[in-house]
């Protein structure tokens, strides 16, 4: 979708901050009829603008007290099997996010663990055992300053 109109922006802003809002309340905020509102949301979903809906859960409340950002390098001779490595990364529930990056490392991962010992165990006994992983460097998060936020919408 190239251009968002005023209604689309209000819909997206509202859904990013209040994902459980009812269609009736959403239609009132946007000033559209409920059927019109529903069709617009469906269109945004079908076009892939809205990828899904999820609850934001506090990691510490689940006993996941450690967040780390992990830089990962792959062995140069393994570049032919890079998709298999990426598939293995997708299978670890401890890895919340994974990005290919430019610079000195190949990937940046966001990882959660219960404590430092379990983080160390995950990195050493599981992640570094994946074929093609040449090395990792982790940075432990001391404090979350700004958690995941709604995306800014273009004008």
Task: Among 8-12, 120-124, 130-134, 151-155, name the one with the lowest average pLDDT.
Answer: 151-155
- CATH 3.30.70.920 intervals, the chain: 60-140
Give dist(CA 31, CA 141) in Å, integer. 42
Helix (H), strand (E) at residue 66? strand 66-74
Which of 65, 66, 15 has the alpha carbon at shortest distance from 41? 15
Q: So what's the architecture of 6-46 in CATH?
A: Orthogonal Bundle (1.10)
Measured from the Cβ of residue 40, the count of other Cβ atoms closer than 10 Å reads 20
For domain 60-140, give the fold.
Answer: Alpha-Beta Plaits (3.30.70)
CB 112 within 8 A of CB 98: no
pTM attached to this predicted model: 0.87
- CATH 1.10.10.10 intervals, the chain: 6-46
Query: pLDDT tens digits, residue range 8-40?
Result: 999 999 999 999 999 999 999 999 999 999 999
Query: pLDDT tens digits, residue range 58-112?
Result: 999 999 999 999 999 999 887 788 999 999 999 999 999 999 999 999 999 999 9
Crossing angle of helices 6-17 and 34-46, in 10° steps, is 80
The distance of Cα 114 from the centroid of its chain, to the nearest Å, equals 19
Compute the radius of gyration of the chain from its Cα atoms.
20
Crossing angle of helices 6-17 and 23-30, in 10° steps, is 140
- And the tokens for 98? 């994974």
């Amino acid at each position: 979708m190239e251009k968002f109109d005023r209604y689309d922006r209000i819909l997206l802003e509202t859904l990013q901050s209040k994902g459980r809002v009812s269609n009736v309340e959403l239609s009132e905020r946007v000033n559209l009829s409920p059927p019109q509102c529903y069709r617009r949301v469906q269109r945004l979903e079908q076009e892939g603008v809205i990828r899904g809906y999820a609850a934001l859960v506090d990691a510490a409340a689940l006993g996941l007290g450690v967040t780390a950002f992990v830089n990962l390098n792959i062995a140069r001779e393994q570049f032919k099997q890079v998709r298999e490595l990426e598939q293995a990364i997708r299978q670890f529930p401890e890895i919340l996010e994974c990005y290919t990056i430019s610079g000195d490392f190949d990937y940046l991962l966001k990882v959660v663990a219960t404590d430092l010992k379990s983080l160390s165990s995950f990195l050493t006994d599981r992640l570094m055992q994946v074929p093609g992983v040449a090395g990792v460097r982790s940075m432990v998060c001391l404090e979350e300053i700004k958690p995941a936020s709604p995306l800014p919408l273009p004008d």
